[in-house]
Structure 1
């Protein structure tokens, strides 16, 4: 298991330490070499890699054909990569994986916070759901631009809490009611409904 000191040392400084801890607890895998492969709703059982080379061989074998999550943060392998030759062993280096994962989750967290208009209590849970599925508010969240610095915490009823871009919908059409995954193109595994399922490597699902 990765110790707290390593997590804090390696985490992206743009994400608050308390959020980093909650994020790792919610989605983290105890094995830096852990690789989870899914196709549709099915988990592909793979032999747990015993070395970084084994792990990278698994990743390269399945990226582009299935949904692959890897390492401590179960980072979405293949994100932003056009060719498997571009995949780097950083994915299975504990510190590098934590750095990449927390940086990407930080962006997701800011996107969700912008949707709410303020860092309300619901943000973290929805950000975790977005990390697991790859979608928030009907959009593939990992491809969305980073909205930058977060607004100050305000009362939810403040009219200024509404996102400036007008993307927010009524509560009935919020992130918990999306149907985007039903419309996903099966030929694009990087934009499919990625869910973290660690049963393939003998680890229980995160709560």
Structure 2
């Protein structure tokens, strides 16, 4: 991803390396990508070729299914009461990266708070992995992360060098509580389905 694009559009609280890792982990790399799921199942939709086509698909399924959009697969419908209120900004690459990274930064702060706001680089892979999990499911520790209040605080390991989430430090071991959380995630991963688009529609 172009460094100038990240600097211009992404949340400045996230280092470029974190932004790249986030987009790589959650998005297909296509600013017009629209993913629709209902009842945990993927709904095949025509691949949009223009922003107008993308918005047509988004509005068609908004309020009826979980719709993820753009580079960051931002959940369309968050904070929106009616699908007609959805704006073309969702499929604008810069705007999608801006709102996506702002939301992800907030989720990372929520997760980091659970970890006691630890700032060591050894903790970062755990925080990042849980934040990606929360982004994909919409949930962390029983709360909707897209509607949760921002706890504030710094994001751990804001250095240029970001360890890969699959690389655990040599000799590192999980505490008992962390190991239990890992087991709980494995057990509940398949069953957690959150229709984010309906949250705004029922208010």
Output the TM-score relative to the length of structure 1: 0.75
**Offset at 1:9?**
1.9
Cα distance in 2 for partners of 1:152, 1:126 equals 13
Task: Tell whether 2:149 aligns with 1:150.
Answer: no
Contact residue 114 and residue 151 of structure 1 kept, 8 A: no
Whole-Å separation in 1 of the counterparts to 2:30 and 2:183: 30
Q: Runs of 5+ in structure 1 lacking a partner?
A: 154-168, 193-207
Is 1:133 aligned to residue 131 of structure 2? no
2:110 aligns with: 111
2:176 is equivalent to residue 177 of structure 1: no
Report the CA distance between 1:181 and its aligned residue: 8.0
> Do the aligned residues in 2 keep the contact of 1:139 with 1:180 (CA within 8 Å)?
no
In the TM superposition, residue 170 of structure 1 has moved relative to its aligned partner by 3.8
Query: In structure 2, how many angstroms separate the alpha carbons of the residues matched to 1:127 and 1:152?
Result: 12
Q: Which residue of 1 aligns with 2:54?
A: 55
Whether contact under 8 Å (1:140, 1:191) holds in the other structure is no
| Cα gap change, 1:176 to 1:129, in 2 (>3 Å) | farther
Task: Quote the RMSD (CA, aligned, Å).
Answer: 2.5
Aligned residues: 173
TM-score (norm 2): 0.76
Q: Is the 8 A contact 2:31 2:71 kept in 1?
A: yes
